[in-house]
Structure 1
Amino acid sequence: MTDHGVPGNGSNGFSRRGFLARTGSILGAVALSAQVVPAHAAQASPAAAAIGDGARVPVLVIGTGYGGSVAALRLAQAGVDVHMIEMGMAWDTPGSDGKIFAHTTNPDYRSYWLRTKTKAPLSNFLGFPIDKNVPRYTGILDAEEMGGIIVYQGRGVGGGSLVNGGMAVTPKRQNFGAVLPSVDAAEMYDTYYPRANAGLGVGLIDPAWFDSVDCYQYARVGRKHAQRSGFPFVFVPDVYDWDYMKQEAAGTVPKSAVGGEILYGNNYGKKSLQLTYLAQAKATGRVNISALHQVTSVAPAAGGGYTVAMNQLNTDGSVAAVKSVTADRVFFAAGSVGTSKLLVRLKATGVLPALNDEVGKGWGDNGNVMCGRANHLWDPTGKVQASIPCGGIDNWEAGGAFAEVAPLPTGIETYASFYLSITRNPHRAEFSWNAAAGKVDLNWQTAWKQPSIDMAKSIFDKINKKEGTIYRSDLFGLNKIWGDHLTYHPLGGAVLNKATDNYGRLHGYSGLYVIDGALIPGNTSVNPFVTITALAERNIEKIIATDL
């Protein structure tokens, strides 16, 4: 093997030059083509549905991700009218290609939030940079750069559920005390985790189908290598429609996961919040959503409740209108980064001065770190790879790492195994107000990823030694093995029982709540969205019973 992690010259004549020549078409699609679709092709819902300037609502929810969607549904079922504010688009109208979402290997104007160049998690492939210019647009994936880390976040109605891999993992019960120490584990595992899993539509892949279908060859290779090195491989639940994926593989329905869709949304098959909690919430007739609206302030109103200022956005990010509405109660559900930044700014600028000093603290990256391994020619991972991961390697107890066996859906045979690890990284960062720059900063340091790398190495060094393989060094830059520059799982910044009480009520203000991933202090030991959902189910039940 060469130091680039692709097969070198050998008796079979398989050279890097020949490999590159045969991959020209995919590299062209990934790195060079830029089919720009007119910006009017996919717009938000009609402006007539948007909240009006001067409106008064009983409850306003900032954000439409997991926590906000749970709150909206349960409040509506309790008879409370709710208005949800979403910074991103509604994602309910196809573009000129007939699809709502862009394909992973051909990003276009729909792909990124107000960027003029893509910022893919894998910056390189076979030594070639793959990012390309795109029109500035309110696209679906935000690659927010701050504090030495890129935080990937979903932008649109449904939040992170639009862009994640859908791995719906409940933490092991013995690990829960380290995740949320002030929460009763029994009630979570007996009541709220089951409720969340039911609401999200969680299901498990058919193991027999997994063993036979071409599109999971990459995961079977990952399982074989893990087990040969003594690590347990575990199937992981997901929110994809597995019956639909079987039809995709059989060629009887339009392809989504089997077609490699993931990073910029799935056009079919995936049970995002649009199809689960939000669909149920809208069906009550008590929930309205204003897309392309960005909240800028939440201040106590003279007559009670809160004055909420917001900008209505155009699809180029410019401000179409400025609005002020009044809400009796406000739920912050803008995601860990969005909620934390807003609260830190409002406290520091004197708008909500009674927020306590825990606001902005306890932020973490869920220990995310990525890597690839270069396999031998007798271990191909498959030209067609289902983009929905379904299993992982569990070395949490011994080495502090759980590694998803992740897809690399390039459309070509790469002979590569790819992983996203979740690790027990102890570092926590803090958001703070930078008055001179007029913005919120995060004090994360790239060097803080080293514990995550060490924990991931507890798995992959052993596998490489057993298999006689090496790490790929061409995926995150030139001669760079570890993807230590990013997180998909931002958590914390308004930690439960610190910045809030034990149910998400913000200290200092009656009627202000946090109900998203900002409540969770930096790590869940697994993919976090089931825990965010279950915690929201727990908290909103208490709030409805006692506050309303």
Structure 2
Amino acid sequence: MRGNGSGGVSRRRFIVGTGSILGAVTLSARVSAAQAAATPAAAVIDNGAHVPVLVIGTGYGGSVAALRLAQAGVNVQMVEMGMAWDTPGSDGKIFCNTTSPDNRSYWLRTKTKQPLSNFFGIPIDKSIPRYTGILDAEDFSGITVYQGRGVGGGSLVNGGMAVTPKRENFGAILPSVNADEMYNTYYPRANAGLGVGMIDPAWFDTTDCYQYARVGRKQAQRSGFPFVFVPDVYDWDYMKQEAAGTATKSALAGEILYGNNYGKKSLQKTYIAQIKATGKVTISPLHKVTSVSPASGGGYTVLIDQINTNGDTTVTKTVTADKVFFAAGSVGTSKLLTKLKATGALPNLNSEIGKGWGDNGNVMCGRANHIWDPTGSLQATIPCGGIDNWAAGGAFAEVAPLPTGIETFASFYLSITKNPNRGTFTWNAGANRVDLDWQTAWKQPSIDMAKTIFDKINAKEGTIYRTDLFGVYKIWNDTLTYHPLGGAVLNKATDNYGRLHGYSGLYVIDGALIPGNTSVNPFVTITALAERNIEKIIATDL
């Protein structure tokens, strides 16, 4: 389950398999038996277990909570809907490549759903075997939400852009949180825990793999926009070795959308590695929580479906937990709480449950450059810079890679915008599911804000928008988000530290707390807020 908004998208990355139509691609359906097993049976939570703390999800918020609780001496059980992603497949690698998606790529789909769906107007999505793959493209009315599935949540599939919002924007992001505490204590703690670093500007200026970003910088600056380098969680020394040919290629081999095998410091290499070292945390992959309700003897009764790699339930477990942390990502947490309130499992949750959901203003576009502005056939999949027009136009645009392996003369962007529209999760009793009230038309403010950057660049450069990347004659991808946020908003659905109103011992500690927008990529803010909240909870509730 996803801790970013994402999972990130990261949830949230936009690198695409355009190479799949430009050269022969073999779809591999094979995965080793060891990978399919995902985890030893002895390591998973037992039916009938009674645990001090259950954490639902292994993304950013859940990982922070589990680590700090374990360091405080508390035994913790973490449950994760996705796989462990710790065993290589038949190709010797844990994750498949972006340009040749196989069964490891998507969560329980039989066809890929790439955010860039067309190239030269030709559809590029491919049939794949149904499997509990790493990227969930979850469809709601009017929008598809990309989320990571596996131990590490959204950190597995995002581009690692680890951005701390500008201080002057923070009041609009989390108005009830003390900014001094966040910027003096919790943002630094999060950045240290995540292993955040910055690209070497001198290397950036000379390496072939960032030619696309240099073109983006030049064109932004010529139109009067600041280009800013953005911190990231990639191992930049490793990427230099990739470029030098002394290390196995990862970011320079098109890996990102469906996982990165070597260079990226996902949660598996940071917080989760520390979690495992404590010896006080058990992680159960392929376990999906379906219900949480008060137990007669105190604490909470939690129903958990253990699933196989086809998505089928193999056993349903009943567990008792003294405290439960909801960290299934903005969508997962919001859907579960909305269902539990509506169906009577947790009827005392307040009326703010399900409200305040936003897409971080995500829209995508591409531009066609002149032949004297090639963007390079080799493109690192890790974005390292963006165009900042937030104050004047309400938009920040990642200069994103388009790693097709050929020269495209195209510039590609994922914009984050100050879109004010918010959706609401509701229970659909007739269909036995949670729906999201969202309309594609609500993306129009995002398009208008992104156009404050790209209309000006096109006018200055004498260039045009690409119309062949998201369909036929379609300029904007306005039907997705990599950055889901909100649905159980801090100081509304919860108190100011994530304690759910109506129930002692239930907490939200992920991107569901953040009301819809962070002005930048959200996972550092999700991590920092979790660090703040868990510190308070440990001090006062345990």
* TM-score, normalisation: structure 2: 0.96
Q: How does 1:159-238 map to 2 (within 5 A)?
A: 159-238=153-232
1:136 match: secondary structure: coil
Q: Out of 266, 278, 282, which is 1:272 matched to?
A: 266
Instruction: State the distance in 2 between where 1:428 and 1:119 align.
Output: 24
* One-letter amino acid of the structure 1 residue matched with residue 357 of structure 2: W
Q: Out of 469, 475, 481, which is 1:481 matched to?
A: 475
Kindly indicate whether residue 39 of structure 2 is the aligned counterpart of residue 37 of structure 1.
no
Kindly indicate whether residue 332 of structure 2 is the aligned counterpart of residue 301 of structure 1.
no
Instruction: State the distance in 2 between where 1:410 and 1:61 align.
Output: 39
2:55 match: secondary structure: strand
Kindly indicate whether residue 413 of structure 2 is the aligned counterpart of residue 419 of structure 1.
yes
Deviation of 1:462 (Å): 0.2
Deviation of 1:42 (Å): 2.2
1:380 match: secondary structure: coil
Kindly indicate whether residue 327 of structure 2 is the aligned counterpart of residue 333 of structure 1.
yes
Structure 1 residue aligned with 2:315: 321
Deviation of 1:26 (Å): 5.1
Instruction: State the distance in 2 between where 1:401 and 1:175 align.
Output: 13
2:64 match: secondary structure: helix
Kindly indicate whether residue 436 of structure 2 is the aligned counterpart of residue 439 of structure 1.
no
Instruction: State the distance in 1 between where 2:426 and 2:294 align.
Output: 22
- Alpha-carbon contact 1:337-1:493 (below 8 Å) kept: yes
Structure 1 residue aligned with 2:502: 508
Structure 1 residue aligned with 2:70: 76
Kindly indicate whether residue 41 of structure 2 is the aligned counterpart of residue 47 of structure 1.
yes
Structure 2 residue aligned with 1:344: 338
Instruction: State the distance in 1 between where 2:71 and 2:20 align.
Output: 49
Decide whether aligned partners of structure 1 residues 518 and 25 sit closer, same or farther in structure 2, where only a CA change above 3 A counts.
Answer: closer
Q: Out of 382, 390, 396, which is 2:390 matched to?
A: 396
- Alpha-carbon contact 1:402-1:423 (below 8 Å) kept: yes
* Structure 1, gaps ≥5 residues long: 1-22
Deviation of 1:29 (Å): 4.5
Deviation of 1:473 (Å): 0.4
* One-letter amino acid of the structure 1 residue matched with residue 313 of structure 2: V
1:422 match: secondary structure: strand
Kindly indicate whether residue 463 of structure 2 is the aligned counterpart of residue 463 of structure 1.
no
Instruction: State the distance in 2 between where 1:49 and 1:148 align.
Output: 40
* One-letter amino acid of the structure 2 residue matched with residue 507 of structure 1: H
Deviation of 1:36 (Å): 2.2
Decide whether aligned partners of structure 1 residues 188 and 39 sit closer, same or farther in structure 2, where only a CA change above 3 A counts.
Answer: same
Kindly indicate whether residue 371 of structure 2 is the aligned counterpart of residue 384 of structure 1.
no
- Alpha-carbon contact 1:26-1:412 (below 8 Å) kept: no
- Alpha-carbon contact 1:86-1:293 (below 8 Å) kept: yes
Structure 1 residue aligned with 2:399: 405
Deviation of 1:39 (Å): 6.6
Decide whether aligned partners of structure 1 residues 249 and 24 sit closer, same or farther in structure 2, where only a CA change above 3 A counts.
Answer: closer
Decide whether aligned partners of structure 1 residues 29 and 515 sit closer, same or farther in structure 2, where only a CA change above 3 A counts.
Answer: farther
Structure 2 residue aligned with 1:12: none
Superposition misfits of 4+ residues, deviation over 3 angstroms: 23-26, 38-41
Structure 1 residue aligned with 2:240: 246
* One-letter amino acid of the structure 1 residue matched with residue 233 of structure 2: V
Q: Out of 230, 237, 256, which is 1:262 matched to?
A: 256
- Alpha-carbon contact 1:356-1:499 (below 8 Å) kept: yes
Show CA shifts across 1:460-511 (max 9, x none).
Answer: 0000000000000000000000010100000000000000000000000000
Kindly indicate whether residue 104 of structure 2 is the aligned counterpart of residue 110 of structure 1.
yes
Larger radius of gyration: 1
* One-letter amino acid of the structure 2 residue matched with residue 34 of structure 1: L
Show CA shifts across 1:189-211 (max 9, x none).
Answer: 00000000000000000000000
Deviation of 1:259 (Å): 1.1
Deviation of 1:127 (Å): 1.5
Show CA shifts across 1:250-307 (max 9, x none).
Answer: 0000000011111000000100000100110110110110000000000100110001
**Number of matched residues?**
525
Q: Out of 346, 370, 375, which is 2:369 matched to?
A: 375
2:252 match: secondary structure: coil
Structure 2 residue aligned with 1:10: none
Higher relative contact order (CA 8 A, sep 6+): 2
Structure 2 residue aligned with 1:18: none
* One-letter amino acid of the structure 1 residue matched with residue 30 of structure 2: V
Decide whether aligned partners of structure 1 residues 77 and 261 sit closer, same or farther in structure 2, where only a CA change above 3 A counts.
Answer: same
- Alpha-carbon contact 1:39-1:109 (below 8 Å) kept: no
* Structure 2, gaps ≥5 residues long: 1-16
Instruction: State the distance in 1 between where 2:23 and 2:89 align.
Output: 19
* One-letter amino acid of the structure 2 residue matched with residue 306 of structure 1: Y
Instruction: State the distance in 2 between where 1:480 and 1:74 align.
Output: 47
Kindly indicate whether residue 292 of structure 2 is the aligned counterpart of residue 292 of structure 1.
no
Structure 1 residue aligned with 2:86: 92
Q: Report the aligned-residue RMSD.
A: 1.2
Show CA shifts across 1:327-346 (max 9, x none).
Answer: 00000000000000000000
- Alpha-carbon contact 1:383-1:414 (below 8 Å) kept: yes
Deviation of 1:174 (Å): 0.3
1:258 match: secondary structure: helix
* One-letter amino acid of the structure 2 residue matched with residue 447 of structure 1: A
Instruction: State the distance in 2 between where 1:234 and 1:276 align.
Output: 26
* TM-score, normalisation: structure 1: 0.95
**Identical positions, percent:** 81
Decide whether aligned partners of structure 1 residues 493 and 378 sit closer, same or farther in structure 2, where only a CA change above 3 A counts.
Answer: same
Decide whether aligned partners of structure 1 residues 515 and 29 sit closer, same or farther in structure 2, where only a CA change above 3 A counts.
Answer: farther
Instruction: State the distance in 2 between where 1:163 and 1:421 align.
Output: 18
Instruction: State the distance in 2 between where 1:406 and 1:390 align.
Output: 8
Instruction: State the distance in 2 between where 1:110 and 1:49 align.
Output: 23
Kindly indicate whether residue 522 of structure 2 is the aligned counterpart of residue 525 of structure 1.
no
Structure 1 residue aligned with 2:140: 146
- Alpha-carbon contact 1:375-1:416 (below 8 Å) kept: yes
Instruction: State the distance in 2 between where 1:291 and 1:326 align.
Output: 18
- Alpha-carbon contact 2:19-2:404 (below 8 Å) kept: no
